[in-house]
Amino acid sequence: MGLTIQRDNSPMNTDRSSPQLVQTDLAWHNRFHQLGPDFFTPLAPQALTEPYWVGRSEAVANLLGLQPSLLYTEDLLQALAGNWPITGTQPLASVYSGHQFGSWAGQLGDGRAILLGETNGFEVQLKGSGLTPYSRMGDGRAVLRSSIREFVCSEAMHGLGIPTTRALCVTGSDDQVWRETPETAAVVTRIAPSFIRFGHFEHFAARQQLSPLRKLADYVIERYYPACLTPSTQSGNAYAKLLQSVTERTAVMVAHWQSVGFCHGVMNTDNMSILGLTMDFGPFQFMDAFDPGHICNHSDHGGRYAFDQQPDIAHWNLYALGQALMPLIADQAQALAALGTFKPTFKHQFHQLMCAKLGLMDVASQTSDPTLADQQLITELLQLLAIDRVDYTLFWRRLSQAVASQHFEAVRDLFLDRPMFDHWLLQYKERLMLINKELQADLMLKSNPKFVLRNYLGEKAIQAAKTKDFSVVADLLKVLQHPFDEHPAFESWAGSPPDWAASIAISCSS
């Protein structure tokens, strides 16, 4: 299905006071809207002055059923900047609550995001599209730099095979937005099968509003977790099964984060997707030097969301979700059993991912039974990487190449304590003797990305975009959507970060 825009041959009218209806042949089924007024406030996005394209993902256009060429039209630009309404959409801002940095924050909600509606199985949301009833002290806007980071990172996560919300495009404007300094506004158009968060459930549970709580849970089960309806394991308690399914998906997502060295930075319960998708790309970071205690968010003074805390925090957040679902589950033992699946699921998934990174896998079945020896190999390696603060991405890619060529010097050079690395390498090589080298090297090159969105690369794209050069955003997108490919023209992006990368500070300000 394609989008066709009703052409208006009169001169382009970008005056925010007279928006033009953008007609599409996309079928909109706004099922979240059908939940009713307890869940949202109907609200149109606010206009951006003289918008321009900052970045666009043709892959996401295809996913939505949009002809990618439409991403080059003024009409769609106006629509996705929030200036012109799209026929069939029913824009709204949803209400949710949540725990922020471990404390109950009360009512939050889409303070700067507008859900346009749902098409082709995806909800389409504009982030940074103006004030809503849930904006609290904020201005409803997002700045160019954070919008570029969200756009590129969500596509990069997808490229890495990590469950995530995705992004269609970023539109920008010279409208001024004040943060620590004056900046300019931008809007990310992002998509996901659902943007429902743990915080949506917490909202109604905290208010003891059982009827909307049940309605929301039933909606999520019916649409996204229909298997919970089949009476099998847990004596037919669909809500306990929902909790277990969300627990397992969340564990899988965080295992992926840990395997690629991704720090989320703001794992508040209002940033946790009910579908186990990576969501809200704020002060995130792909680590350069491996440091298990790394804190990527400069506003996180206590290190609550440090890299090595992420699995425990995800589990904590799931307890908050479990608490919210308790009136429906009505059986503590079943709720605890559901939550109890987190640790084994995480452990299993993490082991699988790390074994793939090391090439220690039965390539045909893509599984490996967690042996104690392999677990030890992984643990010891992570300790070595941490002690010498070895660049995480570089290490894994060089190891993959070393296994392919059987020359380990380049990877050895990354360590300060080389005898320690040699000791580990000896054990690893012994283990490798049991496996087909060619298949193993191939698996490793597909499991260890050459490129991740290092902070400094995002910074380069942002600095160029501030001068209206959006080519770096486009190049980054191209490379990061296929991070396991060689991309020889971008070799320098695969190397060590420059010294100035260490001075980049990313806070919650966005």
Q: How far apart are CA 150 and CA 157, in angstroms?
A: 10
DSSP 191: E
Q: 445: how many CB neighbours lie within 10 A of its CB?
A: 20
**Which residue's CB is nearer to ligand ATP, number 176 or number 367?**
176
**Beta-bridge mates of residue 118:** 123
CB distance 57 to 168 below 8 Å: yes
The two beta strands, 142-143 and 103-107, are unpaired
Angle at 215 between CA 212 and CA 218, to 5 degrees: 150
Answer yes or no whether residue 510 interacts with ligand ATP by CB under 6 A: yes
The residue from 75, 155, 280, 374 that contacts ligand ATP (CB under 6 A) is: 280
In which residue are the tokens 């980054």 written?
476
Measured CA to CA, the distance from residue 430 to residue 422 in angstroms comes to 12
Q: Nearest CA to 322 among 239, 253, 248? A: 239
Stretch that binds ligand ATP, among 109-117, 294-302, 340-348, 355-363 (CB under 6 A): 109-117
Region 26-65 residues binding ligand ATP, contact defined as CB under 6 A: none
Alpha-carbon span 290 to 392, nearest angstrom: 5
Q: What is the DSSP string of 351-388?
A: HHHHHHHHT-SBTTTTB----HHHHHHHHHHHHHHHHT
- Residue 174 is among the residues annotated as catalytic for this protein: no
Among 102, 111, 161, 370, binds ligand ATP (CB under 6 A): 111
Q: How far is the CB of 203 from ligand ATP (least distance, A)?
A: 11
Q: CB of 108: closest distance to Mg ion in angstroms?
A: 8
Q: Does residue 26 come out as left (phi exceeding 0), alpha (psi in the -120 to 50 range) or beta?
A: beta
**Is 138 a binder of ligand ATP (CB under 6 A)?**
yes
Binding residues: 109, 111-112, 127, 139-140, 190, 197, 271, 280
Q: Which is nearer to ligand ATP, 51 or 109 (CB)?
A: 109
Q: Which is nearer to ligand ATP, 101 or 219 (CB)?
A: 101
Residue 202 binds which one of Mg ion, ligand ATP, none, with CB within 5 to 8 A depending on kind? none
Which one of residues 91, 261, 282, 322 is an interface residue with ligand ATP (CB under 6 A)? 282
Applying the rule CB under 6 A, the residues between 192 and 211 that interact with ligand ATP are none
Rounded least distance, CB 280 to Mg ion, Å: 4
Site for Mg ion in 253-272 (CB under 5 A): 271
Residue closest to ligand ATP when measured from CB atoms = 138
With beta carbons less than 8 A apart as the criterion, state whether 40 and 92 touch.
yes
Considering the rule CB under 6 A, would residue 91 count as an interface residue with ligand ATP? no
Residue from 271, 285, 334, 440 in contact with ligand ATP (CB under 6 A): 271
238 binds ligand ATP (CB under 6 A): no
Per rule CB under 6 A, count of chain residues that contact ligand ATP: 20
Residue selected from 43, 71, 79, 113 as contacting ligand ATP according to rule CB under 6 A: 113
Q: Which CB, 134 or 415, lies closer to ligand ATP?
A: 134
Query: What is the rounded distance in angstroms from the CA atom of residue 200 to the CA atom of residue 206?
Result: 10
244 and 230 in contact (C-beta within 8 Å)?
A: no
If one asks whether residue 112 binds ligand ATP (CB under 6 A), the answer comes out as: yes
Q: Which long-range contacts (CB under 8 A, 24 or more apart) does 489-494 make?
A: 490/451, 493/451, 493/454, 493/457, 494/394, 494/397, 494/450, 494/451
DSSP class of residue 167 equals E
Number of residues that bind Mg ion (CB under 5 A): 2
Q: Which of these is catalytic: 270, 288, 388, 475?
A: 270
Residues 150 and 264: their CA atoms lie apart, in Å, by 12
For ligand ATP, give the closer residue by CB, 404 or 508: 508
Lookup result for tokens 């939550």: 339
Residue 468: both structure tokens together: 């209206």
Contact (CB, 8 A) for 81 and 188:
no
Question: Residue 71 or residue 267: which is nearer to ligand ATP going by CB?
Answer: 267
Question: Site mask, ligand ATP, residues 400-439, x = CB under 6 A?
Answer: ----------------------------------------
Q: Which of 266, 275, 325, 356 binds ligand ATP (CB under 6 A)?
A: 266
**Amino acid type, 126:** L
Q: Which is nearer to ligand ATP, 83 or 129 (CB)?
A: 129
Site for Mg ion in 280-309 (CB under 5 A): 280
Of 33, 141, 203, 351, the residue at the interface with ligand ATP (CB under 6 A) is 141
In terms of Cβ atoms closer than 10 Å to its own Cβ (0-12, 13-18, 19+), residue 337 is middle
Give the C-alpha separation, 43 to 181, whole Å: 29
* Structure token digits, residue 113: 């995001």
Nearer to ligand ATP (CB atom), residue 53 or residue 305:
305
Candidates 85, 140, 163, 449; binder of ligand ATP (CB under 6 A) is 140
- Nearest Cα neighbor of 238 from 224, 219, 218 is 218
Q: Which of these ranges, 8-16, 110-118, 220-228, 427-435, lies near ligand ATP under the rule CB under 6 A?
A: 110-118
Q: Does 175 bind ligand ATP (CB under 6 A)?
A: no
Say which amino acid occupies 432.
Answer: L
94 binds Mg ion (CB under 5 A): no
97 binds Mg ion (CB under 5 A): no
**Which of these, 46, 45, 508, 52, lies nearest to 281 by C-alpha position?**
508
Residue ranges at the known binding site for Mg(2+): 271, 280
Catalytic residues: 270
List residues near ligand ATP by CB under 6 A. 108-113, 127, 134-135, 138-141, 266, 268, 270-271, 280, 282, 510
